Amino acid sequence: MPDLKTEEMVVQMGPQHPATHGVLRLEITTDGEIVRKINPHIGYLHRCFEKHCEELNYHQIIPFVDRCDYLAAMNNEHGYVMAVEKLLDIEIPERVEYIRVIMSELNRIASHLVALGTYGLDIGAITPFLFTFRDREKILDLFEMTSGARLLYNYIWIGGVAFDLPNGFVEKCFEFIDYFLPKLKEYDDLLSYNKIFIKRTAEVAIIPPAVAIEWGITGPNLRASGVDWDLRRDEPYSIYDKFEWDVIVADGRVGVLGDSWSRYYVRVLEMEQSASIVKQALEGLPSDENVKSAVPKKVRPKEGSVFFRSENPRGELGYYIISDGSDIPYRLKMRSPAFCNLSAISDVGEGLLISDLVSLLGSIDIVLGEIDR
Amino acid sequence: MDYFIQIVTDLLPGLNGLPQWLVIPSIMFLFGALIFTGIAIYSLIILWFERKIAAHMQDRLGPMEVGGWHGWLQTVADAVKLLLKEDIIPAVADRKLFKLAPYIVFLAAFAVFAALPFSDKIIGSELNIGIFYILSVSSVGVVGILMAGWGSNNKWALFGSMRSVAQFVSYEIPIGLSILVVVMSVGSLSMRDIVMAQDGGIFNWMIWQNAPFNFIAFLILFIAGTAETNRVPFDIPEAESELVAGFHVEYSGMRFSIFFLAEYANMLAVGIIASTLFLGGWQGITGASSAPGIGLIWMLLKGFLIVLVMIWFRWTLPRLRVDQLMYVCWKVLVPISFFNMVGAGIWIGLSS
Amino acid sequence: MRAYFIDIFSGVGSVLVGMRVTFSHLFTRSVTEQYPREKIEMFDRSRNRLHVDIEDCIGCYLCDKACPVDCIHIDTIKARPGEDLGLTEKYEKKKTFVFPKFDIDMAECCYCGLCVFPCPTECIYWISDYEFAEYDRSNLNYHFGNVTPEDARVRYEEAEKLKIQKDKEIAAKKAAAGTEIPSQPKDDSTESAE
Amino acid sequence: MESSEVFKLIESKYPDALKSIDLEGIEQSVTIDVNSIADVCNYLKTESELQFTSLMCLSGVDYEDKMEVVYHLHSLLHDHRVTLKVELSRDNPKLPSVSGVWKAANWHEREAYDMYGIVFDDHPDLRRILLPDDWEGFPLRKDYVVAEKYRGWTIRKIKEGFE
């Protein structure tokens, strides 16, 4: 039999493609449906964040930090603010720390909800997406009540927070957690343990722990590979050491460690833990402290540099700030987790089917705003 | 058809004046037009239903504005919008294939209706090989899909049509095997005979016959039928998160709406075929009614019910991968339907 | 073989579980708000549109400086001596500045709220009007200035005259004091010559 | 392990490579010679006592008189971290790539090249990453002048009313 004439085909996946979550372009070389080579092109959403930071004073950067990872703005603010505070070397009131942790964890839940919903959408299930957005809406209501905005908060300030918690926040937040925890069961029924979903995601696009560490993958994606590492526990910042909670590490209960399903399910379980942290923080919230008492009049750190990492919903968010003594940072570099997570795709994605590539992309939960900055 | 000719000639006595060679074609044309409008109206209704059901399953309201009560005119408005939209043909497309493809897809879906028995009397053509005709005609649709994918000159569209062809060809087999079970127990390929064999109320329906065999055959027919109509969880030819929209990614306006119409027509066809074969066709729960209108209503009701379950599927399930789709067909449905057919054959042989 | 059948049955089972969930939601209350007819009540802190009570403004430019995107444009002219500018909200007599220009460009605004905090008189604040879509972007540039352009031109000229007069006075004073006049004008002339 | 101890280990292993140690301030760092950075990194990663398995961050910095590349390393196993710095001349910023040591360095180095024009030798795929391939200049350099035109499109520098 003569050899079949086969040719590889170059297909442009994106920048306008529903599975690329924004404006990512993957130049994929396919052999039939099998992806042989992936060449990611990023930068379609580049907004010169780092250049902007060299023009703005420390406080004015906060709204820009929000816009990097727009799904987890509170976490981004929290990390940035802590980095600057480390540079300034100031103490902040305990109530502020509690409020920040509550906000960060609520935003982690909100961000994971989006990750879950859109992942379902990538796999083809539409209803879970709307369910998760329905529940996320309630968190956004809490945020709007506190900070005035639903997405880009500018709430956590250097040395404090913009407002104290409004009246009725604590009750509403408890109410939300009581409402939310049973919903996790519903997601499990509808999506997580659906046989088709498992078939699509389990044992697909496996990232072994060594590969994950090599590529600098962090956060839920790293824990899905079985690496027990969480900055909140292992290098406790803020007041995370005061709460009792578990670091979720995938156990490969369906499929194997490091597959898409693990990456998905780590997020589901993490939401439960976050809810528990919020609950503990609400119970231990110190009363009556001025949340703005430590806000400095003028942020003028002395010369020096700091590299500070915090746990974002997508992984470890690092800020490298160099100060030259003025009120404008000399250099601000953001180590965005999704950027590092995505860089592994050309390695991990080779040899997958197109459908599995979509499943991989969705499971590493990228936010293009953060990748491109 | 004879019955229909009777009615029409009774209603329009003027037709008798026409030459004989013109009467039959014009009445055929009339019947075709009726079916076409029927499909169009049904599509609008089922589309509205689908939106509302989807919305409520997702804790939403769905369309609420156009036409007043629960936006019942929304789909009509959308249809008008689609028809008025500019029809864009890509510059590098194969224009002839591109233009022709939607009509062929629709033609295949439409031709099936010629042999479907809507009631005792209303049947386009009473073929003695009715079910065989339906099987063969419906597989023409895949040619149209392949033309659409190739003619668009778009790689995603090509992927979609390639997947679609594989899917169509594979799922024909379990459908054929499960239909055979019914044909064996009735002993006829004629749709009318099949319905007549289920006379006498709900317990005589084919689905309950031959112990578990017919029931399994019904399930297989339903699953494979869902796959044939490219519905979730088998919608991989159009998988919007993978292939954007698959074979109809380049279509817009009216041509797109024809694809849409064909999909919904196919859904209704699957519903009607399944209910004819297994659910007693035009006969009610207590048995056939003598009034012709009642039969039609029963038939549409049953077809509708099956379409609703398909909609329910769509808003619940994720999508299979292309190799898993083949797995489900060749390793699950085909063996089961094959053993099911053999088992049914033995059962029929023993019981007769 | 056993695994094969277990696979099929668990598959069918999980599909049925999922279908039960969606079916139960068919009858629960939906969460949609029918927007133009039903409106959600805004929270007190909601950031929707900026508003300035120009009577209270003291022209300190703090909001302008705080804005990270430079969407606030202010221009001030000193009020005429003894001019009555009306009363502020606190029924105090207003003085010092008039504003030929106090523009907030909501098309550029990033809704961060940084301008609201430093204001010493709390005259810039968020109002709950969120329905301000426009067909033309320039309509989103809100003007809060309290002086008409013609009036502003007159005032500018007056201020210019006043300045020249003052400069002269200072020069005269300095001359009278016998100090040397700084070589500033000389430098100016050389620069312009170049 | 404290940073200072790591520095001592480096000093004993590569006495020539170590240029200076900064133990003051919030962040302790060590400056490594340009040519031996890849070797030092390889040592830091493979040495069983250290095992800096992950490169957290790689950033370029432009101090108007010199360029710097800063490496933040972290060991998941021993939970310690270290900051390395490499000083480069501003006219010809060039240094060996560490993408052979950590794959994570790949995109970080591309970004540093994109923003500062720092050339990493032996990098597998040194292209611009965030900016278009035909962009001129390196925007995060302190002397960068914002381009006014790109492919014939005007990039407005100063806004003057609406168009």
β-bridge pairing D94-96 and D119-121: parallel
pLDDT digits (tens, 9 = 90+) for D124-133: 888 888 888 8
Find the mean pLDDT for residues B289-317: 83
What's the confidence (pLDDT) of residue C191? Answer: 42
Nearest to A131, CA basis, from A181, A175, A190: A190
Last residue of a domain, one of B84, B101, B122: B84
CB-nearest to A131 from B58, B242, B320 is B58
The reply to whether C56 and C84 lie within a common domain is: yes
In a domain, C95, yes or no: yes
pLDDT digits (tens, 9 = 90+) for B318-340: 888 888 888 888 888 899 888 88
> Mean pLDDT across chain B, nearest whole number?
83
Nearest to A339, CA basis, from A37, A14, A23, A42: A42
The reply to whether C164 and C116 lie within a common domain is: no
Find the mean pLDDT for residues C123-134: 87
Q: C172 lies in which domain range?
A: 148-178
CA–CA min distance D156, chain C (Å): 15
Q: How far apart are CA A311 and CA A234, in angstroms?
A: 11
Q: Count the neighbouring beta carbons within 10 Å of the beta carbon of residue B84.
A: 9
The reply to whether B308 and B216 lie within a common domain is: yes
In a domain, D150, yes or no: no
Q: Nearest chain C residue to D163 by CA: give it.
A: C138
In a domain, D159, yes or no: no
The reply to whether C107 and C55 lie within a common domain is: yes
In a domain, C193, yes or no: no
Of B195-204, B302-311, C159-168, D124-133, which range is least confident?
B195-204
Q: Count the neighbouring beta carbons within 10 Å of the beta carbon of residue B95.
A: 12
Count of A-D CB contacts under 8 Å: 82
The reply to whether C95 and C158 lie within a common domain is: no
The reply to whether C55 and C143 lie within a common domain is: yes
The reply to whether B154 and B38 lie within a common domain is: no
Given an 8 Å threshold on Cβ–Cβ distance, is A195 in contact with C10? yes
pLDDT digits (tens, 9 = 90+) for A120-176: 888 888 888 989 998 998 999 899 888 888 888 888 888 888 888 888 888 989 999
Helix (H, G, I), strand (E, B) or coil at A168: coil
Q: Nearest chain A residue to B53 by CA: give it.
A: A127
The reply to whether C56 and C93 lie within a common domain is: yes
Q: How far apart are CA A309 and CA A29, in angstroms?
A: 36
Find the mean pLDDT for residues B60-76: 84
Find the mean pLDDT for residues B171-191: 86
In a domain, C42, yes or no: no
Angstrom CA distances, B172 to B135, B311, C43, C144, stand at 8, 21, 59, 72
Alpha-helical (H) ranges within C38-137 are 62-66
In a domain, D148, yes or no: no
The reply to whether B136 and B264 lie within a common domain is: yes
Spans of all domains in chain A:
47-344
Give the domain A47-344 fold: Cytochrome-c3 Hydrogenase; chain B (1.10.645)
pLDDT digits (tens, 9 = 90+) for D25-77: 778 888 888 888 888 888 888 877 788 888 888 888 888 888 888 888 888 88
**Total domain count, chain D:** 1
In a domain, C23, yes or no: no
In a domain, D63, yes or no: yes
**Total domain count, chain B:** 2
Q: D116 lies in which domain range?
A: 3-131
What's the confidence (pLDDT) of residue D2? Answer: 75
Nearest to D73, CA basis, from D40, D97, D100, D116: D40
Look up the CATH number of the domain holding residue D94. 3.30.460.80
The reply to whether C143 and C53 lie within a common domain is: yes
Q: How many residues does chain A have?
A: 373
Given an 8 Å threshold on Cβ–Cβ distance, is B317 in contact with A11? no
Q: Give φ, ψ of B238 to 5 degrees.
A: -115, -5
CB-nearest to D140 from A51, A87, A229 is A51
Given an 8 Å threshold on Cβ–Cβ distance, is A196 in contact with B318? yes
Find the mean pLDDT for residues A327-333: 88
Q: Which residue has the higher pLDDT, C45 or B202?
A: C45
Q: How far apart are CA C4 and CA C61, in angstroms?
A: 75
pLDDT digits (tens, 9 = 90+) for C145-163: 877 778 778 878 887 888 8
Sheet hosting strand A25-31, strand order edge to edge: A9-13, A25-31, A34-41
The reply to whether B54 and B143 lie within a common domain is: no
Q: Is the pLDDT of residue A345 over 70?
A: yes
The reply to whether C115 and C153 lie within a common domain is: no
What's the confidence (pLDDT) of residue C186? Answer: 45
Amino acid making up residue A185: K
Last residue of a domain, one of B49, B84, B119: B84
The reply to whether B79 and B152 lie within a common domain is: no
Q: Does C192 touch chain D (CB under 8 A)?
A: no
Q: How far apart are CA B269 and CA A315, in angstroms?
A: 50
Q: Do chains A and D touch (3 or more CB pairs under 8 A)?
A: yes
The reply to whether B93 and B75 lie within a common domain is: no
Q: Give φ, ψ of D82 to 5 degrees.
A: -150, 150
Last residue of a domain, one of B84, B118, B150: B84
CB-nearest to A194 from B59, B156, B317 is B317
Angstrom CA distances, B231 to A312, B45, B227, D46, stand at 38, 18, 6, 53
Alpha-helical (H) ranges within A155-206 are 169-187, 195-201
Q: How far apart are CA D136 and CA B24, in angstroms?
A: 76
Look up the CATH number of the domain holding residue C120. 3.30.70.3270
CB-nearest to B321 from A191, A194, A355 is A355
What does the DSSP 8-state code read for residue A51? H
Rounded to the nearest 10°, the torsion over CA B213, B214, B219, B222 is 150
Q: B45 lies in which domain range?
A: 1-84
Angle at C149 between CA C148 and CA C153, to 5 degrees: 120
Given an 8 Å threshold on Cβ–Cβ distance, is B312 in contact with C22? yes
The reply to whether C104 and C66 lie within a common domain is: yes
Q: Give φ, ψ of C33 to 5 degrees.
A: -105, 130
Angstrom CA distances, C107 to A175, B124, B291, B298, D159, stand at 37, 62, 67, 59, 13
**Total domain count, chain C:** 2
Q: Nearest chain D residue to C103 by CA: give it.
A: D161
The reply to whether C165 and C93 lie within a common domain is: no
Helix (H, G, I), strand (E, B) or coil at A354: helix
Of A21-30, A286-295, B64-73, C28-37, which range is least confident?
A286-295
What are the chain C neighbours of B329 within 8 Å (beta carbons)? none
What's the confidence (pLDDT) of residue C187? Answer: 45
Q: Is the pLDDT of residue B57 over 50?
A: yes
